[in-house]
Structure formats: structure tokens, C-alpha cells
Amino acid sequence: MSDESDKGQPPNVRPSLFLERQSYRRRRLTDAARLLPFLGALLFALPLLWPDKSSGDAAVPLSSAIFYIFVCWGALIVIGLIFGFVARRMRTPEDPDTGAE
Amino acid sequence: MSRKVLLIEDEPNIAEAIRFLLTREGWQVEIHGDGTDALQVIQGAQPDLVILDVMLPGKSGMDILRDLREMEELASLPVLMLTARGQSRDREMAENAGVSRFMTKPFSNAEVLTAVRDLHAQATQM
Amino acid sequence: MATVNVLILVCLGYVVFLFAVAFAADRMAAAGRGKWLRSPLIYTLSLSIYCTAWTFYGAVGNAARSGLEFVTIYLGPTLVMVSWWWGLRKLVRVGRSQRVTSIADLLSSRYGKSNTLAVCVTILAVLGGTPYIALQLQSITLSFSIFAEADPSGLYREGSSVFWVAAGLAVFAILFGTRNLDVNERHHGVVTAIAVEAVVKLFALIAVGVFVVWGIAGGIAPMMERIDASEIGQWHVDAGRWTTFIFLSAAAFICLPRMFQVMVVENDDESHLRTAAWAFPLYLLLMSLFVVPIAVVGLDLLPEGANPDLFVLTVPLSQGNDWLAMLSFIGGFSSATSMVIVTAMALSTMVSNHVVMPIWLNTQEGTGSVSGDVRNIVLMARRVSIAVVMALGYFYYRLSGGGAALASIGLVAFAGISQILPALVGGLFWRGATRTGALVGLTVGFVLWIYTLLLPGMSGASMPESVLQNGLFGLGWLRPQALFGIEGIDPIVHSVMWSLLLNTIAFCVASLLSFPSPLERLQGAQFVNVFDHSVAPRGWSGSVAQSEDLMIMTQRILGTGPAQEFFQAEAEKQGGRSHLPEPTPAFLGRLERELSGSVGTATAHAMIGQIVGGSSVSVEDLLAVADESAQLLEYSSQLEVKSSELSRTARQLREANAKLTQVSAQKDSFLSQVSHELRTPMTSIRAFSEIMRDAEGLSGDEQTRYATIIHDEALRLTRLLDDLLDLSVLENGQVNLNISDDSLRSLLDRAVSSALAGAGSKISVRRARAAERIVLHTDLDRLGQVFINLISNAQKYCDAEEPVLTISAYDVGGRIIIDFIDNGSGIPPGARSMVFEKFARVGGDKAGGAGLGLAICREIMQRLGGEISYLPGQGGAAFRVSLPLAHRQAAQ
């Protein structure tokens, strides 16, 4: 109920195509945000497959490991940051709470 | 000096009968058949006695009586009231309105004559 | 070299500075200024109490021992923050909408406001939190000892310093954590001080890191080479520990009471999460960025056997960089103090709300209402709780003797507090989760944690060696570190795996097997679907509640000002006739939520229950209320139907009554009329017959005339009696109709001539004779009687100068309509409804008949299957007679 009243604009003011596109994008963005922790878990689990000093092969040097971990970490932060900002910008003209779809 | 009675009655036959009776007793009888201007007629005729029917066209006898008692010069005029409805409520109403004598139709001629004589006697004694 | 005295001065100065910050922030918040106090940045920084002294110092030590493994402790929270959309958002929304004061309160609230559960969680949290506080005390004293070793004065004594540190922290926590009561009013002062400390510890660690990388190693590339060349320079992790620690730290991040305090309770705005989702991982990343470099350099520079946990301090010291060491010390001190303060606050809230208050309320039971200043009691309970928690930490430290045994306690505490996770996550996402399930799961996890991790890990005789080696009661599969005979797993991984696995299984199975109470189901729906409805549908039946009592109680808890404001607002919301609101269920629900911010959900529920119901309202009561209200709803809708039915009936009754009264009056007046109509002719007859009998000397003329009068009046009497009989017959339906055919024209001809005969006919009748060529098939005499009546009425009553009666006839769709319209003044509107009644004569005049004519006409027309009605708006009196053209006999 409040969704409708909050929008407050008659549907013919804005082309409906744009509206749909906007909400479509927002939904996909939400999907991406939800997938982010799984991506992170995957990335942080990957080093377990690397050869370490106990195996016969040449172990991965710690500097590379550090580099990998921190780059992944940074990437997660940047994606989270982007999501946060885009979501906020997209949300402002819309209703404040899309709830748990 | 002749005694004058004003008879206010819309039934011509009843009026005729009463006129016959009272004329024989030596009364000068005037008849009026309408309620509307009855008060003015009473004032104009200056009767010694009024015989008043209750159900009159234009204005009911009760109302005429009430108005009549309001008027100073007519407040003590003897009024004999006749009604054909004969309900006790009518008698009460008439007495409250200040009637001198109340009679129910049909009456015997003797009763009417007695009533008229009594009323006249009371009025002249005073 | 800084002396211990200088160090103590610096510490005291720093604490005073924090006091000032906290005090200023509280003042600004109270004055409504300082929006930045509620900014996402402060929120993010306050989350940094996750990074305790254990991580500040311990991370480097951990890195020096096992390489990158330390990073798992940061990766877990990162994943939790990144998945805020899934979990934290819901947690924060639930916490805010239910005005939850602690993690124990949240679980208690979710599972039907069960205080048992709250007490369990509180015990678990205190058990896990106490060693953790001891760990912080240890880190502070250790760092002191580093400086003390170098201090020639040798004034430093470990034992007393720990005591003073603990006491100082307790005072700080009490001063700023229990100043205002409503936890949801939020501790702006403390949070701001924590944010400042977060900056300080980050700055300190980065400063040391920058010094190490660029000051000692000479840049990034040389640093990387140095790392690879070091003893930990090759990638090596234990897969089990790696994944377990990531999971464990993630779980602890959510479940730790202090994290819940800053993340949910102190949260000002849900949208802050969006910022914290990336900003806090960034903070963690920065905190761990220089950990490995510091560890590697420390391993290089410092002598063998140096405690790697203190590299952050000892590396700068060994390079003679006293100020950097001092900064690093302040960083560690910050980590420890902020953690201890918030933990103490969170634990004290739990202890006072779930242990002290229920006990106190129990002792108050029977007095009927709440007496004494609850506000002070709650505050006192919290202050004492803080002191007790700190004291427990202190004694734990003294008993365990410090040393290495404490080092692993961080992860042990994590594993302990994570036992809450199944109940928490289940409660948020699964409506089927029950109180029984939560209790069973929690107990199973708790016992397993103690048995497999806490006791074996503790030094000394906490667990007999035989049990450790051979299992409980000598049962091999019950060996604490090799349950079910599965050996060779890292003790922590082993414990976490079994305890959480069996915890979850027990929770699910018990939930499925048990049946939740109605309140649980209500709360469950509220929690799981928190985004659908953030308003609580909890029912208080307030009929018994005294608003005044509630007001008094609320004043004691919230304070006079806020309580009055709240009640005023509620009263205005209700319509504002008095200054106290009616105790409606909605109001009580809001009041309970308001109070639960101060004393916890279960306690607030119990307190209101005490006033509203004289005792705690049971779930069954609530259910009954809910049932009752549902029934009431149905009943009231039925009532509504009934009452509209009733009012309809009443209206009909009123109408009928009016009709009856009218009929009764008509009957009276009918009798009176009949009397009058009979007496009048009888009067004449009697008078003249007496005259003829008694009077002498009557002339022959007179005799004839008087005899004629008697005769006429006798006829009149006869007519009247005829009319009355006629009417009676018609009304009783005993009339025999004499049907024949004739044209309307001839019938009207006869009627007009008969009506106008005799009397001086001054009225002229206009007719359209052409239209009257209609053949009638009816009782012509009766219809003629109607016509005559109407015509003679017009003749009698039309008051026009030149009276004219117009008779017009139509044939309309099988019905004949005949209108009689004169040009007089007509019948006044008020009398129209009465003209067809008996003796109804307009204006009371008596022009002729007895007033039965129209009544008879109406009866006749009914008999003939037609009707007669008065036509308004025709100028004069107008009557319409209508009857069916092909009339079939209607009567009989």
C-alpha cells in the first residue's frame, strides 16, 4: 500500500519501460550482492588446493599467497562498495524498502 | 324590558325548535349559524344569555367560549352549551373554559327551559 | 627508554582523553547536536571491537608460528559483512523492531520470551566472556612487563597492575555504560570513544607496519623477498583449521555479545550496514596488512625465544624507536579497553535483565504492583554486574596464572559462543524452530564444548588425565578429543565440528518433535517475516490494567520525563481526552517494547503482566485473548447484522405503532362522530315531537312544518345508518357484486344528474363525452355510487366563484382512469392522507353528509379491483378513479 503512495507519480509521467528496467537492474544487483559471500568463500577456499611445503612440489611462496589473499579481499570490498553506492542511488527515487523478495 | 337570547347553532332544525320554545317564554331569540364571526355577533347583540353549540363550522364552540371569557364585558355572560358528542371529556373542557351550564343532545324541552330560567335568575340576582 | 611511571601516566592521560571524548559525545547527543555521532563511519569503527588485544598482538604471534593462518580470523567477519543482505540486515531489523537489548534477549524474545533460554545464553556468554576478558588483562600486563623489564627502577608488580587495570576498566564501563537506562537510547559516549580507539589501534599497527616495511626492510619488494626467505616463507595451512577458523570467526562475529551490542543494539540506522558492509572489511584488511611483515622482521631481528605475540612492541623497541613502541602500546591498550568495556556492558545487561531482574521481580510478587524505584534497581544491577564480570575476569587471570594457557582461549571462547548460532540462525529463518529445540541444541553444544575443548584445554586438574586418555567412564568413544573414535583431528576443529554438528542436529530434531507455544509461533512469524511486518501483533488485554500504575512503573524505569512524554504521546494518539491513555492492547504492546529497551523483553513482559493481570500473563492467556478477540470480532459482526435487523424491526414497529395509535384515535373519533351524527337528528326529532305534544295552540301550518322536520330528520338518521351498514359490509368483504355491462358515458350521465338533482346546482360539469365510449363490465350501481359521491363532494366543497368540475376518462394499458378535478382550493396537504378515512371532513365543517362518503368509495373501489386516490398538484381537489378494463370479479 505504502509502495504505491510513496512513488507518488502517475505512471504516465515516466515511461514504464524505464521503470521496469530500473527495478530489473536493482533486482539483479541484489542477486549479485547475495552471491558475493559465496564468491568470497570460494576465493578463500582456493588456496587449500595449492601445493604447500609438505607436498613434494615446489610450494607456493608466501608473498604470492599474501598477494592473492589481499587482492581477493580488496576485490570483495570494492564490489561491496560499488553495490552499496549503486543500491543507494537506485533506491532514493524508489520506495525505501524493497523488503526480502 | 325584554330578555334577549343569542342562539349559536348550525343545525337549522334544532335552532328552530329552541327559538319556538324560548319565544313562547317571552325571550327575544336571535340565531347565528356560523362559528367564525360568533364573537362579534355576541358583542353586537349584547344578549342576556347565549346558547352555544360545540360543533360549529369555522370555529368550535369551545374556542368561542374561551375567547369570550377573556373579554372583560362578556366574562360574566351566562352561557348554556349544547353538544351532540356527549363525552365526559367535553364537559370537563367546557367547565374549564368557563361554561355556565352544559347540556347533552338530545335534550328535553323542559330541561332547556329550566336551564335558561335558572341562568337568567342567577344573572339578575347578582 | 620510557619508564613504567611514564607509561602509567600515558595510560591515565589516554583514559582521561577517552573520558573527555565520551563525555563530550554524550553531551552533544543529549543536546541533539552532532549528527556525525550517528554516522556510518562511527558505526563501522565501533565494529572494530572485534579486533581485541588478542588480535592486535596475537595476530603477529600467530603469523610467526603458522604463516597466513591468522588471516582466517579476519576473513570470517569479512564474509559475514559482505553477506549483510542475507543476514545482518535481518538481524538488525529484528533487533530494532523488537527493541532487543542483547543476544540473550533476542533468543528469549524469539522463542516465546523464554527466560530460561535467556539465562542459558547469559551463562554461556559469561563463561565464554570471562576468559576473554582475562586475556585482555593479560595482554595489557604483558605489554607493561615489556617496558618494565627495561625499567631500572623495578617498581612494576604484575599482580597489582592487573588489579588496577581491571578496576579502571570497570569504572569506565560503569560510568559510560550505565548512565542512561534504555539501552536503545544508545551509548553515544562509549561508542564514540570506541571509534576513537579503533582509529588509534589501526594507526598504531599501520605505523609499526610502515616502520617495518620501509624503515627496516627498505620497501615492498625487499620485504616480499624477506618474507619468502623466512622460516614461514612457504605456503602451508591445515585445511581443516583454515576452513574451521573462517567459519568460527564468522559465527563468533555474529554471536559474540559485544558484537551484538555494537552491531544491533547500538545501531542507529539500518542503512549504516550498507556502508559497514565494505568499510569494515576494509578496516580488517588494513589491520592485517602488515601482520606478516612485522612477524617476519621480528623473527629475523629478535633473539630466538622472544615471545612473538609481543613483536608489535618489541620490534620498535629493539630498534630504539621508543615513541613508536609507545604508540603501539597505546594501540594494544585501546584494543583491550574497548573490548573489555563493551563486553562488560553487554554481559551486565544480560545478567541484570535475565538473572537479577527476574529474581527481584519474584521477590516482589504478591505485592500486586511494582514498588520501589525500578530504574535505580536496574542501574544498580548493571553496575554490580559489570563489577562482577570484571572481577571474574580478574580472578580467572589470577587462577590460570596467565602464561601460554590463555593464548588459545580466544578461539576457545569463539567456539563456545558459536553454540548460539544454530538457535539464532534457525530463529531468524525457520518458523518451525522452537524453544525446546533451541534449549536442547544449546545444551548439547554447550556440554560438548566444555567436554571436548574447554576442560581439556585448561591447564591443571580441570580434567583427569584418565578421562582424556581413555574417555569418560573408560569408554573409548567418549574420549574428549577423539569422539566416536575419530582421531587425529586438531582439537579445536574436532570440538567445533562435533559440538556444532550435534547442536544443529539436536536443535532441528527437537524443534520438529516439539510443538511451539502460541507466543513462540507469533514471535517466530515476527522474526522470520520481519520485513513484512515490523509491528508486533501481541495481545495485552488491558481492561484490568490501571493506566496510573503503568505510568508509575514506567516512570521508575524510563525516568519521569521520558515516561510522561511517552504517555502523553500515546494519549494524544488515542484521541487525547485525558493525560493518561487507555490501556489498549496496542498501547500496552508499545509500552512493553519501550520498557524492554530498558529491562529486556522477558522482564518487561513480566512487569506489565504483573500490573495488567495481577500476575504474569501466560501464553495460554494470550492465546485466550487472541481467541476471544477473534470470537468478539465475529460476534460483533453478527451483532452488527442483528442490530441493523433490530433497528429495521424497530422502525417497522414504530410505524406500526404510529398506525395503531392513529387507528385507535380514529376509532375514538369514529365513535364520537357516530354519536354526534346520531344525536343531532334525534335532538330535532325529540324537540319537535315534544313541542307537538306539549305546546298548545299550534297552527296547522306549524304542525305540518314541524312534522316535516321530524320526518326529514328521521330520514337522515336512516341514511346514516344505511351508510354505516354499507361501510361495515364493504369492510368485512360480505358484499355481493352485481356485475353488468354498460358504457361509461351513460353511467356518468346518470351519476351527474342524480348528484346535481335537487340541490341548487351551481357547479357546472365539463366532460369529454367522446372519450367516455368505454364499455364497463363491473358492478355499475356501486361504481355509480362512487361517481355520485365525488360529484356531490365537488358540488358541496368547491369554493371557486364559478365552480367547475372536469371529468375526464382515459384508457391506459388495460385500465380505465377517470379523473374528477374541480377548480376550488383543493384539500390541504396535511389532510390528504385522511380524506378516505371515516368521518374525515376537511376543516371540521359539516356541509351535509356524515363524512363516510369517501371511505365508502375507497371500499367500493377495492371491491371492484380498482382504486381511488387523491391527485395532488391539479389546481383544485382532484380524485382519480381507476379500475381494470376487463374486470374479473376480484372479491370472493
Per-residue pLDDT tens digits for C792-811: 888 888 888 888 888 988 88
Give me the number of domains chain C comprises: 5
Write the single-letter amino acid at C287: M
Q: What ranges make up the beta strands (E) of C278-390? A: none
Write the single-letter amino acid at C568: Q
Q: Are residues C706 and C578 in the same domain?
A: no
Q: From the list C83, C235, C275, which residue is nearest A62 (CB)?
A: C235
Gap between the Cα atoms of C465 and C467, Å rounded: 5
More confident call, C496 vs C526: C496
CA C874, distance to chain mean position in Å, is 66
Write the single-letter amino acid at C673: Q
SS3 state at C51: coil
SS3 state at C5: helix
DSSP string across B80-109 = EEEESS--HHHHHHHHHHT-SEEEESS--H
Judged by CB atoms closer than 8 Å, whether chains meet at C278 and A69 is answered as no
- Report percent pLDDT > 70 for chain C: 78
Is pLDDT above 70 for C557? no
C579: domain range? 535-617
In the DSSP assignment, the letter for residue C117 is H
Q: Are residues C580 and C683 in the same domain?
A: no
Whether chain C has a CB inside 8 Å of the CB on A75: the answer is no
- Whole-angstrom CA distances from C669 to B26, B96, B105, C672, C834 are 39, 21, 17, 5, 13
Average pLDDT, chain C: 77
Backbone φ and ψ for C796, nearest 5 degrees, come out as -75, -40
Write the single-letter amino acid at B102: F
Would you say B84 and B9 are in contact if contact means Cβ atoms under 8 Å apart? no
The set of chains that have 3 or more CB pairs under 8 A with C is A, B
C804-812 and C815-822 as β-strands: parallel, antiparallel, unpaired? antiparallel
Structural element, H or E, at residue B26 = none
Would you say C596 and C113 are in contact if contact means Cβ atoms under 8 Å apart? no
Judged by CB atoms closer than 8 Å, whether chains meet at C79 and A40 is answered as yes
More confident call, C307 vs C858: C858
* Among C213-227, C430-444, C619-633, C661-675, the least confident range: C619-633
- Whole-angstrom CA distances from C519 to C104, C307, C598 are 17, 54, 21
CA triple C692-C694-C700, angle to 5 deg? 35
Q: What is the pLDDT of residues C74-133, one digit of tens each?
A: 888 888 888 877 778 888 888 877 777 788 888 888 887 777 888 888 888 888 888 888
- Please name the residue that has the C-alpha cell 502517475: A10
Give the pLDDT score at C771: 81
Provide the CATH number for the domain around residue C174: 1.20.1730.10
- The x, y and z cell numbers of residue B80, run together, are 348554556
- The x, y and z cell numbers of residue C833, run together, are 392522507
Would you say C68 and C292 are in contact if contact means Cβ atoms under 8 Å apart? yes
Would you say B12 and B33 are in contact if contact means Cβ atoms under 8 Å apart? yes
- Report percent pLDDT > 90 for chain C: 0
Span B70-80, average pLDDT? 85
Would you say C385 and C352 are in contact if contact means Cβ atoms under 8 Å apart? yes
Judged by CB atoms closer than 8 Å, whether chains meet at C680 and B18 is answered as no
Whether chain B has a CB inside 8 Å of the CB on C675: the answer is yes
Would you say C257 and C103 are in contact if contact means Cβ atoms under 8 Å apart? yes
Give the pLDDT score at C542: 42
The set of chains that have 3 or more CB pairs under 8 A with A is C
Judged by CB atoms closer than 8 Å, whether chains meet at C690 and B85 is answered as no
Q: From the list B16, B84, B109, which residue is nearest C676 (CB)?
A: B84
Gap between the Cα atoms of C608 and C618, Å rounded: 12
- Whole-angstrom CA distances from C504 to B110, C435, C706 are 122, 14, 125
State the count of interchain CB pairs (< 8 A) between B and C. Answer: 69
Q: Is residue A7 part of a domain?
A: no
Residues constituting chain C: 892
Burial class (CB in 10 A: 0-12, 13-18, 19+), C264: buried
Identify the bridge partners of residue C739 per DSSP, sorted by sequence position.
Answer: C779
- The x, y and z cell numbers of residue C571, run together, are 494519549
CATH number of B3-125: 3.40.50.2300
SS3 state at C134: helix
Judged by CB atoms closer than 8 Å, whether chains meet at C683 and B11 is answered as yes
Give the pLDDT score at A94: 40
List CB contacts (< 8 A) between B106 and chain C: 679, 682-683, 685-687
- Report percent pLDDT > 70 for chain A: 51
Gap between the Cα atoms of C310 and C19, Å rounded: 27
Backbone φ and ψ for C371, nearest 5 degrees, come out as -115, 165
- What b/e readout covers C540-557, taking b as 16+ CB neighbours within 10 angstroms? bbbeebebebbbbbbbbb
Average pLDDT, chain B: 86
Q: What is the pLDDT of residues C516-553, one digit of tens each?
A: 776 677 777 767 776 665 443 334 444 334 566 677 66
pLDDT band for position C404 (50/70/90)? low
Would you say C91 and C253 are in contact if contact means Cβ atoms under 8 Å apart? no
Q: Is residue A80 part of a domain?
A: yes
Q: Are residues C135 and C111 in the same domain?
A: yes
Is pLDDT above 70 for C496? yes
Name the nearest CA neighbour of C178 among C369, C51, C26, C29.
Answer: C26
3-state helix, strand, coil split of chain B in percent (to 5) is: 50, 20, 30
* Among C243-257, C268-282, C451-465, the least confident range: C451-465
Judged by CB atoms closer than 8 Å, whether chains meet at C236 and A34 is answered as no
List CB contacts (< 8 A) between A37 and chain C: 79-80, 82-83, 86
- Mark which of C488, C510, C534 sits at the end of a domain: C534
Name the nearest CA neighbour of C271 among A31, A87, A2, A24.
Answer: A87
C815-822 and B49-53 as β-strands: parallel, antiparallel, unpaired? unpaired
- The x, y and z cell numbers of residue C615, run together, are 500476575
Q: Are residues C413 and C562 in the same domain?
A: no
Helix residue ranges, H only, C471-584: 491-513, 518-528, 547-558, 560-573
Name the nearest CA neighbour of C747 among C798, C804, C809, C797.
Answer: C809
Residue in C with minimal Cα distance to A82: C278
Gap between the Cα atoms of C679 and C667, Å rounded: 18
Whether chain B has a CB inside 8 Å of the CB on C709: the answer is yes
Domain ranges of chain B: 3-125
Q: Is residue C627 part of a domain?
A: no
Q: Is residue A86 part of a domain?
A: yes
Is pLDDT above 60 for C846? no
Q: Are residues C102 and C247 in the same domain?
A: yes
Residues constituting chain B: 126
Gap between the Cα atoms of C601 and C351, Å rounded: 13
Q: Is residue A42 part of a domain?
A: yes
The set of chains that have 3 or more CB pairs under 8 A with B is C
How far apart, in Å, do the first and last CA atoms of chain B sit?
A: 17
List CB contacts (< 8 A) between A99 and chain C: 531-532
Q: From the list A60, A63, A87, which residue is nearest C274 (CB)?
A: A87
Write the single-letter amino acid at C413: A
Gap between the Cα atoms of C115 and C360, Å rounded: 14
| Residue C857, number of CB atoms within 10 A of its CB | 25
Residue in C with minimal Cα distance to A44: C75
Gap between the Cα atoms of C636 and C643, Å rounded: 10
Gap between the Cα atoms of C789 and C730, Å rounded: 16
Residue in B with minimal Cα distance to C672: B85
Question: For an interface test with B, which of C670, C677, C678, C680 has the most B Cβ atoms less than 10 Å from its Cβ?
Answer: C680
HSE value, Cβ hemisphere, 13 Å, CA-based, for C638: 6
Q: Is residue C876 part of a domain?
A: yes
Give the pLDDT score at A97: 42
Give the pLDDT score at A53: 62
List CB contacts (< 8 A) between C90 and chain A: 100
Structural element, H or E, at residue C738 = none
Regarding chains B and A, contact by 3 or more CB pairs under 8 A is answered as: no
List CB contacts (< 8 A) between C246 and chain A: 41, 44
Give the pLDDT score at B5: 92
Q: Is residue A10 part of a domain?
A: no
Would you say C861 and C881 are in contact if contact means Cβ atoms under 8 Å apart? yes
SS3 state at C474: helix
Is pLDDT above 50 for C21? yes
Q: Is residue A87 part of a domain?
A: yes
Name the nearest CA neighbour of B42 among B84, B85, B7.
Answer: B7
Nearest chain C Cα distance for residue B60, angstroms: 9
Question: For an interface test with B, which of C678, C684, C688 has the most B Cβ atoms less than 10 Å from its Cβ?
Answer: C684
List CB contacts (< 8 A) between B109 and chain C: 687, 690-691, 694
Q: What is the pLDDT of residues C689-717, one digit of tens each?
A: 988 888 888 888 888 888 888 988 888 88
Q: From the list C677, C684, C695, which residue is nearest B13 (CB)?
A: C684
* Among B72-81, C212-221, C330-339, the least confident range: C212-221
List CB contacts (< 8 A) between C680 and chain B: 11, 14, 84, 105
Whether chain A has a CB inside 8 Å of the CB on C88: the answer is no
Structural element, H or E, at residue C640 = helix C619-694
Give me the number of domains chain A comprises: 1
Identify the bridge partners of residue C820 per DSSP, sorted by sequence position.
Answer: C807, C879
Q: Is residue C892 part of a domain?
A: no
SS3 state at C816: strand
Q: C568: Cβ–Cβ under 8 A, 6 or more apart, which residues?
A: C579
A75: domain range? 36-49+59-96
Would you say C389 and C347 are in contact if contact means Cβ atoms under 8 Å apart? yes
Q: Is residue A88 part of a domain?
A: yes
Give the pLDDT score at C615: 38
Helix residue ranges, H only, C695-779: 700-731, 744-756
Q: Is residue C181 part of a domain?
A: yes
Judged by CB atoms closer than 8 Å, whether chains meet at A66 and C292 is answered as yes
Q: What is the pLDDT of residues C611-670, one digit of tens each?
A: 665 333 444 444 454 555 555 556 667 777 778 888 888 888 888 888 888 778 777 777
- Whole-angstrom CA distances from C650 to C642, C647, C655, C657, C664 are 12, 5, 8, 10, 20
SS3 state at C313: helix
Would you say A72 and A40 are in contact if contact means Cβ atoms under 8 Å apart? yes
Most confident of C24-33, C43-52, C630-639: C43-52
SS3 state at C575: coil
Q: C616: Cβ–Cβ under 8 A, 6 or more apart, which residues?
A: C605, C606, C609, C610
- Please name the residue that has the C-alpha cell 514506567: C554
Q: Are residues C273 and C195 in the same domain?
A: yes
Whether chain C has a CB inside 8 Å of the CB on A3: the answer is no
Provide the CATH number for the domain around residue C815: 3.30.565.10
Q: Are residues C89 and C236 in the same domain?
A: yes
Judged by CB atoms closer than 8 Å, whether chains meet at B85 and C676 is answered as yes
Judged by CB atoms closer than 8 Å, whether chains meet at B84 and C675 is answered as yes
Where residue C186 falls (left for φ over 0; alpha for ψ -120 to 50; beta otherwise) is left
B49-53 and B3-8 as β-strands: parallel, antiparallel, unpaired? parallel
Judged by CB atoms closer than 8 Å, whether chains meet at C686 and B18 is answered as no
Q: Are residues C834 and C744 in the same domain?
A: yes
Is pLDDT above 70 for C485? no
SS3 state at C121: helix
Q: Are residues C520 and C545 in the same domain?
A: no
